[in-house]
Structure 1
Amino acid sequence: MSETSQALQKIARGTGIVFAGIIISMLFGFLSRTIIARYFSAGEYGVFNLALTVLSIALVVVTLGFSNSLPREIAFYKEREPSRVRDLISTALIIVAVNSIIWTIVLILEAENISQVFNEERLVYALKIVAFALPFSALTGMIISISQGFGRVREKVYFQNILYPILWLILVLSLAIFNLPFASIFYVYLLAQSLKFFALFFEVYRIKLFELKFSFDLKLGKELIIFSLPLMFVGILNFLMTWTDTLMLGYYKSSKVVGLYNAASPLARLIPIFLNSAAFLYPPIVSRLYAQGKINEMKRTYQILTKWIFLLTLPIFSVMFLFPEATILFIFGEKYVSAAPALQILALGFMFHTFLGLNGLTLVVIGQPKLNMIGDTFAVISNVVLNVLLIPRYGIVGAAIATAVSYFVANVFRSFWLYQKTKIHPFSWNYVKPLVISFVLLGLIQSLHLRVSSIWYAIPILVVFLAVYFFLVLLSRSVDKEDVELFLAIERKLGIDLGIIKKILKRFV
């Protein structure tokens, strides 16, 4: 088996586990938010979300981009200089621990000034409580990033995606059952974050994932910070890209319009779920190939993985793009149906983001995080300018266009720089053929102007579309040998004989 196939199978196995974890986390997270929204007033729910938003921004600054750089750096040093891995881990943890304590103090001291920005007095005591969760959140993220660097998904899935959401749901339910006051939710949040950290810490100590030994290498720390700072700014820019449209809709329009848009936006953001799942193990595995100078294997891994992600994402995209009214009606109800055009536009933007693959992470792998920062800066500028120009006239459709264009700009920049530096791109011939087939079929169905009001009428059409699509993909012989090797690996893992499917595949490979 080639190194490309081995890398792909490791990524695929990790993707499946991370995807399951994300689904579980989303489910319990949704239940928790529903309880909070129903138990407290709309104003109190808003204060809670504002406090977590401020904490999220602080977390990006505190971690200095280490959460995105450490998986690459650990895998890279393991291959090139394994003796320095321990010092790298210890140095990173010390820097983040000290930085988190400093920013905890800053948040507590500046709570009143921050609350004045949002014109919300209740935010003062909220920030003074949740600020103490900052070190726990930051160090939890670092430990998970370290385990990611070792090619592990267990710590992320068990502790971040399963244990914490369940624990948080139980604690939130307790608030409602015992009729506790609003301030209690912030103490409960602090308790949940600290319990998650200590559970993860003792597990890492138990299995001896890495040596918990005090060691600070000043030179290594400087190198890590210099490499990671662009990624910190990328995190801030991504935060701006996520929230600019909502904030500007609130400024130019009304809270009702914001509510309509936030029916379409969260749905569209589900489209890259497989891309995000694959992103967890991709950096450490591909970093090893890069450290060995195996650029051709990297390119092949990138191309096959991008094709898999596109094929898995297509059904989600198709239902939102072809039947936006039915999708929104099914999930949010009739009063949000007017957000359908915005969902359709956002779906295009996030699908474009998906079908170009993990270009940004690959730039990090080859040691070029600054290029991500440059591309995302242009994307944020275009987002703000287009929102200013389009929202006053077109409302949520204008906001959707601005967001879709910003993702287009960011991904074009990333893919351009990646190709220029390494000649890596996603467009193998066996990927181009499925792309063309999907564009043609989607265009044909869209041209029929089907007015489907119920998701139950949309599903049979979608099933026929996907059946025809995958038949044409087979007929066009778009199956690679790595696809077959992965299929055989899955068959062995499940312990079943998929003989009929194998016979079909043999005819079209």
Structure 2
Amino acid sequence: MSDASQALQKIAKGTGIVFVGTVISMLFQFLSRAIIARYFSTAEYGVFNLALTVLSITLVIVMLGFQNSLPREIAFYNEKEPSKVPDLISVALIIVVVNSILWMVILILGAGGIAQIFNERELSYVLKIIAFALPFSALTGTITSISRGFGRVRERVYFKNIVYPTTFLVLVLFGTFLDFSFAFVFFAYVIAQAFTLVALVIDVWRMCLFKFDVSFDLKLGKEVVSFSLPLMITGILGFLMTWTDTLMLGYYLGSEIVGVYNSASPIARLLPIFLKSVVVLYPPIATSLYAQGKVGELRRTYQILTKWVFLLTLPLFVLIFVFPEAMIKFFFGANYLEASKTLQILALGFMVHAFLGLNWGSLIVIGESNLNLIGDFFAAVLNVILNAILIPFYGLEGAAFATTFSYFVANVFRSYWLYKKTKIHPFSRNYVKSLVISFVMLGLLKVFCLAVSNIWHAILLLLVFLSLYFLLILLSRSIDREDVELLLAIEKKWGVDFRVIKKVLKKFV
């Protein structure tokens, strides 16, 4: 078995639990948003999204890029200098605690000024509430990143992906059932984050994963911060690309339009769900191949994973892009149908991630994280410029186009430099055939299904589409040997019987 096949199987075996956790997290957070949108006014839902956007950007600054750097740094030191790992963990935790408290105070004191920028008086009050979630959320992210450095995903899945969104959803349901005020949503957010951290700390302590020692190695602190800062800046730029549309819509058109827009945005953000699952495990395994000089094996791993991510994302993309009215009406109600075209545009932007694959993570693997920073910087600036130009004239659709085009530019930039540095690209022969088939069938479906607004009719048409699509995939012999090996790994890990599928696939490999 080749190194690429072994790497793919390792990723496949661990991705299952990550995927389940990611699905639960995205689904429960999505349901929480849908309940808030239906129960409160569009203006209040807009305020909720503005507050969450400000908090998310602040959290990226608080974390200093540790969520991406700690898994790599802990794995590196655990291999080279195990004695330094406890000091590294202590340094990271101390920095995050101090930084989170500092920014919590800054956010509370600056809440009034932020509210004035968006001309939303209520935003000031809710920001002062939700700011208390910063230390809890930052420490949860840091501890789960530390556990990933030991090759574990359990803590991330159980607590960050399941405990927090479940707790928040239950609290939101409780508050709406008892007819609590809008402010309760933000108290619920803080309580959910605090409960998640306490549960996580108790579990880590019980499992003896690592000790919560208090020591501060200044030299080690400088090293980890200097390595993490470019990733932090990249994270800020990534959040700006994601949330600039929301912020600038709030600035130009007010919170009610933000509420309408954020009926489409959460649905579109469901699209990278498979990519997010894979990216948790891809960097350390890909780094091992690259460190051994096995660029060819890394290229093959990248191509197969990209093809799988695209194929798994395609059904959801078809449902969102071809039937946007059905999706919005089902989840948010008829009051938000104005955002249907916006949803289609945003879906294209988020699908670019799946189309081009793991380019962002691959640049980190080969030690070129600065290229991510450069690409995201230009894309973020472009996003702000386009939003400023388009929102006053085209409103929701203008904001969506600005975001989509910026994502396209960022991904093309990363893919170009990844290819230039390593000759790695996602376009294997079988992947190209899959793309051609999907584009042709998607065009035909879009032409012949113009007025479907019922979600169940849309799902029925989707099943017909997928049946024909995978039949054409088989007939065009777009199946790779590694695809079958991945199925075998999944079958062994999860005890699923793929006997019939394997017999069919072997005839077309």
**Superposition TM-score, scaled by structure 1 size:** 0.90
**One-letter code aligned to 1:232:** M
Determine helix, strand or coil for the equivalent of 2:89.
helix
Aligned to 1:272: 272
Task: Return the alpha-carbon distance in structure 2 between the equivalents of residues 442 and 57 of structure 1.
Answer: 36
Structure 2 counterparts to residues 146-165 of structure 1, below 5 A? 146-165=146-165
Is 1:457 aligned with 2:457?
yes
Determine helix, strand or coil for the equivalent of 1:213.
coil
Query: Relative to 1, partners in 2 of residues 1:180 and 1:395: Cα closer, same or farther, differing over 3 Å?
Result: closer
CA displacement at 1:29 relative to structure 2: 3.1
Task: Return the alpha-carbon distance in structure 2 between the equivalents of residues 177 and 401 of structure 1.
Answer: 38
Task: Return the alpha-carbon distance in structure 2 between the equivalents of residues 247 and 114 of structure 1.
Answer: 11
CA displacement at 1:175 relative to structure 2: 4.5
Residue by residue, what CA displacement relative to the aligned partner does 1:112-149 show, whole Å, maximum 9, x if unpaired?
A: 44444445555555444443432222111101111122
Is 1:191 aligned with 2:217?
no
Structure 2 counterparts to residues 28-177 of structure 1, below 5 A? 28-33=28-33, 49-120=49-120, 123=123, 126-175=126-175
Task: Judge conservation of contact 2:490–2:496 (CA < 8 Å) in 1.
Answer: no
Query: Relative to 1, partners in 2 of residues 1:87 and 1:295: Cα closer, same or farther, differing over 3 Å?
Result: farther
Task: Return the alpha-carbon distance in structure 2 between the equivalents of residues 452 and 390 of structure 1.
Answer: 29
**One-letter code aligned to 2:140:** T
Query: Relative to 1, partners in 2 of residues 1:204 and 1:43: Cα closer, same or farther, differing over 3 Å?
Result: same
CA displacement at 1:21 relative to structure 2: 1.7
CA displacement at 1:50 relative to structure 2: 4.5
Task: Return the alpha-carbon distance in structure 1 between the equivalents of residues 409 and 79 of structure 2.
Answer: 34
Aligned to 1:307: 307
- Structure 1 stretch displaced more, 202-211 or 310-319: 202-211
Task: Return the alpha-carbon distance in structure 2 between the equivalents of residues 460 and 255 of structure 1.
Answer: 36
Task: Return the alpha-carbon distance in structure 1 between the equivalents of residues 482 and 407 of structure 2.
Answer: 30
Is 1:317 aligned with 2:317?
yes
Query: Relative to 1, partners in 2 of residues 1:348 and 1:182: Cα closer, same or farther, differing over 3 Å?
Result: closer
**One-letter code aligned to 2:71:** P
CA displacement at 1:343 relative to structure 2: 2.4
Task: Return the alpha-carbon distance in structure 2 between the equivalents of residues 171 and 264 of structure 1.
Answer: 24
Determine helix, strand or coil for the equivalent of 1:508.
coil
Task: Return the alpha-carbon distance in structure 2 between the equivalents of residues 338 and 115 of structure 1.
Answer: 26
Aligned to 1:218: 218
Task: Judge conservation of contact 1:286–1:365 (CA < 8 Å) in 2.
Answer: yes
Task: Judge conservation of contact 2:42–2:255 (CA < 8 Å) in 1.
Answer: no
Task: Return the alpha-carbon distance in structure 2 between the equivalents of residues 365 and 83 of structure 1.
Answer: 24
Task: Judge conservation of contact 2:45–2:259 (CA < 8 Å) in 1.
Answer: no
Task: Judge conservation of contact 1:75–1:287 (CA < 8 Å) in 2.
Answer: no
Aligned to 1:422: 422
Task: Return the alpha-carbon distance in structure 1 between the equivalents of residues 93 and 426 of structure 2.
Answer: 35
Task: Return the alpha-carbon distance in structure 2 between the equivalents of residues 183 and 402 of structure 1.
Answer: 32
- Structure 1 stretch displaced more, 132-141 or 383-392: 383-392
CA displacement at 1:480 relative to structure 2: 1.8
Aligned to 1:353: 353
5+ residue gaps, structure 1, are: none
Determine helix, strand or coil for the equivalent of 1:395.
helix
Query: Relative to 1, partners in 2 of residues 1:100 and 1:387: Cα closer, same or farther, differing over 3 Å?
Result: closer
Query: Relative to 1, partners in 2 of residues 1:289 and 1:218: Cα closer, same or farther, differing over 3 Å?
Result: farther
Is 1:297 aligned with 2:303?
no
Task: Return the alpha-carbon distance in structure 2 between the equivalents of residues 140 and 3 of structure 1.
Answer: 34
Aligned to 2:483: 483
Task: Return the alpha-carbon distance in structure 2 between the equivalents of residues 444 and 41 of structure 1.
Answer: 38
Is 1:208 aligned with 2:227?
no
Residue by residue, what CA displacement relative to the aligned partner does 1:143-186 show, whole Å, maximum 9, x if unpaired?
A: 11111222222111111122222333444455556676666655
CA displacement at 1:411 relative to structure 2: 0.2
Residue by residue, what CA displacement relative to the aligned partner does 1:45-73 show, whole Å, maximum 9, x if unpaired?
A: 66555444333222111111111121222
Structure 2 counterparts to residues 392-403 of structure 1, below 5 A? 392-403=392-403
**One-letter code aligned to 1:199:** A
What is the CA RMSD across the aligned residues, in angstroms? 2.9
Aligned to 2:386: 386
Aligned to 1:18: 18
Structure 2 counterparts to residues 364-375 of structure 1, below 5 A? 364-375=364-375
Task: Return the alpha-carbon distance in structure 1 between the equivalents of residues 337 and 129 of structure 2.
Answer: 39
Task: Judge conservation of contact 1:76–1:288 (CA < 8 Å) in 2.
Answer: no
Determine helix, strand or coil for the equivalent of 1:278.
helix
Task: Judge conservation of contact 1:227–1:369 (CA < 8 Å) in 2.
Answer: no
5+ residue gaps, structure 2, are: none
Residue by residue, what CA displacement relative to the aligned partner does 1:333-378 show, whole Å, maximum 9, x if unpaired?
A: 4444443333222222221221111111121222222211111111
Task: Return the alpha-carbon distance in structure 2 between the equivalents of residues 269 and 442 of structure 1.
Answer: 20
**One-letter code aligned to 2:191:** L
- Structure 1 stretch displaced more, 31-40 or 427-436: 31-40
Query: Relative to 1, partners in 2 of residues 1:320 and 1:54: Cα closer, same or farther, differing over 3 Å?
Result: closer
Task: Return the alpha-carbon distance in structure 2 between the equivalents of residues 15 and 225 of structure 1.
Answer: 29
Determine helix, strand or coil for the equivalent of 1:424.
coil
Aligned to 2:445: 445
Determine helix, strand or coil for the equivalent of 2:507.
helix
Determine helix, strand or coil for the equivalent of 2:209.
coil
- Structure 1 stretch displaced more, 427-436 or 442-451: 442-451
Residue by residue, what CA displacement relative to the aligned partner does 1:265-300 show, whole Å, maximum 9, x if unpaired?
A: 222221111111212222232233333333232222
Task: Return the alpha-carbon distance in structure 2 between the equivalents of residues 176 and 459 of structure 1.
Answer: 30
Identity %: 67
Aligned to 1:407: 407
Count of residues paired in the alignment: 509
Task: Return the alpha-carbon distance in structure 1 between the equivalents of residues 127 and 458 of structure 2.
Answer: 46
CA displacement at 1:497 relative to structure 2: 4.5
**One-letter code aligned to 2:348:** L
Query: Relative to 1, partners in 2 of residues 1:340 and 1:231: Cα closer, same or farther, differing over 3 Å?
Result: same
Task: Judge conservation of contact 1:72–1:364 (CA < 8 Å) in 2.
Answer: no
CA displacement at 1:429 relative to structure 2: 1.6
- Structure 1 stretch displaced more, 326-335 or 241-250: 326-335
Task: Return the alpha-carbon distance in structure 2 between the equivalents of residues 326 and 343 of structure 1.
Answer: 11
Aligned to 1:232: 232
CA displacement at 1:214 relative to structure 2: 3.3
